[in-house]
Structure 1
Amino acid sequence: MEILAFGVQADEKPLLEKAFTGRHEVRCLDVFLGEDTAPIAAGYEIVSSSVNADLNGRVLHTLADGGTKMIAQRSTGFNNIDLDVARRLGLTVSRVSYYSPYSVAEFAWTLAMAVNRNIVRASNRTRDFDFRLNGLMGRDMRGRTVGVLGTGKIGEAFTRIAAGFGMNLLGWDVAENPACVELGMKYVDKEALFALSDLISLHVPLLDSTHHLIDAKALRTMKDDAILVNSSRGGLVDTEALVAELRAGRFAGVGLDVYEAESGLFFTDRSLGVVEDDTLARLMTFPNVVVTSHQAYYTHDAVGQIIDATVRNVADYLAGRHSENTLSPA
């Protein structure tokens, strides 16, 4: 059987092809699965999508009409999939429920330290042989307070690194993680976490209840010199409200690996064109902001685990099995 995989990155392609060797053929496309590209899947029983796919009802109908019966999404998040429609159409949909939490946790810390120590600005200067230190002063993390929103596997990994820095640990989640409590974390309400934290890192999924979790009110509650990091989902942050606060001169730094309007933009090359997203363009102008293109998960270890899980999901579908990765049927 030949599987059609959308949104495959150049580094990912050889790993994906190798994983399916001896099992199935895989045709890799660098375009993302959406309304314009869904007709390409006609005749493919199994398609694989990436995190930035748009699997709305119209896309799912196009896939089903073309003969697709199974969608294997190569990501943990699935807020981009209309599961109600998928179930009505009888489509099997799977995801990757788990991969290395260290990839994202370590990258979140990379962003935090990059903005704290002004690494991007320093690197740009030294490339021009400007070796002055003006404007590059950062802060020690030891003894400061970190607020972790979401203390699951990734949040726990992030917290362990924070504990290694010698930070005071605050957490917020629907349930306490005993491992984080053992590290010394104190669970508080969101408002207290916003007000007391010097560094805030987001590790919650994007749900209706967490959409714009960081809104104008939350941003105003934070310290003027706080650092905010989001390596989870772009929709957790109200970007326009964040831009307004940055324009007012607030925050020591902001590190974003995700953006709420990233679909169709991230993972693509727009360097020769005009970016029409005024909010993102304005965000890029602030010297204390670092934006990366949803790469926190992008390590050899994590991508390998994602691909291995995708291979298992396909095998489960063909064998008529369900697993913890099966989203549809419920």
Structure 2
Amino acid sequence: MKAIVFSARKDEKSYLIDAFEASGHEVMFEEVHLNRKTAELAAGFDAVVVFVNDQLDESCLERLAELSVKTVALRCAGYNNVNLDAAKRLGLSVVRVPAYSPYAVAEHALTLLMTLNRHVHKAYNRVREGNFLLDGLVGRDIHRKTVGVVGTGNIGSVFCQIMRGFDCRLLAYDPNPSQDLIEQGVEYVELDSLLEQSDFISLHCPLTAQTHHLISERALALMKPKAMLINTSRGGLVDTKAVINALKQGGLSGLAIDVYEEEADLFFEDQSNRVIADDDLMRLMTFPNVIVTGHQAFLTEEALTNIAQTTANNLTCLEQNASCENQLV
């Protein structure tokens, strides 16, 4: 199968090349995002391989179908950026990578939590300037604190297991509770109850119409004043303007995000020589109790290997007309 990779990054190319060559697929890379305007680049290819910030709306998919593209291969778990109804109508197959390394994302969530709680980002900058004062660096023991986990799929479950090592009380919210986690002592509660009781809250759920702005002004008002919020899932889960107001008013102790709801034209690119026009993101980054990383939670050697191999295997399954467990449409 001949495939074109959109939103290609340097860090992933060698993994994709190895996996595609081993599977007998031909691959070409484009750094631009896929959308209606750039869809022309897919002419002559059987499949497009896309990532989280590619926009496969109805008009983009229609153009791909006109160009005789047959397959959309997501090299990620989320698929909120693909119009599945349109893909089905147009006869396009859509496959994804549902699980690449839940440990990578869960461990990054813990990294953000610990960095934010112990002010490591502030201490790092101080020490580099020769400032060894401890003022403003007081954190809290994570031991036996209440941790709220919103979404207990693969990643959320691993995060729960990690936090058990801190002897935390674990509260979870998910429409489909995990019996394994219940047996491990995780308490499933309603979202409001989780927000009210948790010292640390970590988001691990997909972005859907129901979960969009799950963390809203109302939700933030329910949280403890010392609560910290971690988001390594999807940016649209959090109402950015509401979070800014909560931080300004002292209603939220800290925020650590690896995703941002308007990240599509910002993340995965060097913006250092440009004026970033996103006022909300720039405002967030002025707060000393906010940490932003650029959608790197998945970025481990193991995850990149699994993503590449699963993507290549998905294409092989479709090429051979075999059953593909990762197929959405």
> Normalising TM by the smaller chain, what interval?
over 0.9
Contact (CA 8 Å) 2:220, 2:252: kept in 1 or not? Answer: no
SS of the counterpart of 1:213? coil
Distance across 1 between alignment mates of 2:162 and 2:93: 38
Q: What is aligned with 1:18?
A: 18
Q: What is aligned with 2:303?
A: 302
Contact (CA 8 Å) 1:231, 1:257: kept in 2 or not? Answer: yes
Q: What is aligned with 1:254?
A: 255
Q: What is aligned with 1:146?
A: 147
Structure 2 residue 61 is the aligned partner of structure 1 residue 60: yes
Contact (CA 8 Å) 2:51, 2:76: kept in 1 or not? Answer: yes
Distance across 1 between alignment mates of 2:25 and 2:82: 25
Letter in 2 for 1:234: G
Unaligned runs of 5+ in 2: none
SS of the counterpart of 1:303? helix
Map Cα deviations across residues 154-181 of structure 1 (whole Å, 9 max, x no partner).
1111011111011111111112212221
Contact (CA 8 Å) 1:142, 1:167: kept in 2 or not? Answer: yes
Contact (CA 8 Å) 1:144, 1:168: kept in 2 or not? Answer: yes
Same amino acid, percent of matched pairs? 47
Distance across 2 between alignment mates of 1:132 and 1:37: 52
RMSD value, Cα = 1.1
Quote the offset at 1:145 in angstroms.
Answer: 0.5
Structure 2 residue 161 is the aligned partner of structure 1 residue 160: yes
Q: What is aligned with 2:98?
A: 97
Aligned length: 328
Per the normalisation by structure 1, the TM-score is: 0.97
Unaligned runs of 5+ in 1: none
Structure 2 residue 294 is the aligned partner of structure 1 residue 280: no
The worse-fitting range, judged by mean Cα deviation, of 276-285 and 178-187 is 178-187
Contact (CA 8 Å) 2:100, 2:307: kept in 1 or not? Answer: yes
Quote the offset at 1:34 in angstroms.
Answer: 1.6
Distance across 2 between alignment mates of 1:175 and 1:79: 20
Distance across 1 between alignment mates of 2:286 and 2:221: 21
Map Cα deviations across residues 60-94 of structure 1 (whole Å, 9 max, x no partner).
11211122111111010000001111111111111
SS of the counterpart of 1:274? coil
Q: What is aligned with 1:324?
A: 325
Map Cα deviations across residues 176-202 of structure 1 (whole Å, 9 max, x no partner).
212221221111111111011000001
Letter in 2 for 1:88: R
Q: What is aligned with 2:82?
A: 81
Correspondence list, 1:170-319, <5 A: 170-319=171-320
Contact (CA 8 Å) 2:99, 2:154: kept in 1 or not? Answer: no
Structure 2 residue 120 is the aligned partner of structure 1 residue 116: no
SS of the counterpart of 1:148? strand
Contact (CA 8 Å) 1:149, 1:201: kept in 2 or not? Answer: yes
SS of the counterpart of 1:201? strand
Letter in 2 for 1:26: V
SS of the counterpart of 1:62? helix
Contact (CA 8 Å) 2:19, 2:308: kept in 1 or not? Answer: yes
Distance across 2 between alignment mates of 1:147 and 1:281: 28
Distance across 2 between alignment mates of 1:264 and 1:140: 38
Quote the offset at 1:252 in angstroms.
Answer: 2.2
Quote the offset at 1:2 in angstroms.
Answer: 3.1
Per the normalisation by structure 2, the TM-score is: 0.97
Contact (CA 8 Å) 1:73, 1:93: kept in 2 or not? Answer: yes
Letter in 2 for 1:267: F
SS of the counterpart of 1:11? helix
SS of the counterpart of 1:64? helix
Contact (CA 8 Å) 2:318, 2:324: kept in 1 or not? Answer: no
Contact (CA 8 Å) 1:116, 1:252: kept in 2 or not? Answer: no
Map Cα deviations across residues 205-245 of structure 1 (whole Å, 9 max, x no partner).
11111111111000010011101001011111111100111
SS of the counterpart of 1:279? helix
Map Cα deviations across residues 86-135 of structure 1 (whole Å, 9 max, x no partner).
11111111111222111111000011011001111111111111111111
Distance across 1 between alignment mates of 2:263 and 2:322: 34
Letter in 1 for 2:312: V
Contact (CA 8 Å) 2:7, 2:34: kept in 1 or not? Answer: yes
Letter in 2 for 1:92: S
Q: What is aligned with 1:27?
A: 28
SS of the counterpart of 1:326? coil
Letter in 2 for 1:179: D
Contact (CA 8 Å) 2:150, 2:173: kept in 1 or not? Answer: yes
SS of the counterpart of 1:165? coil
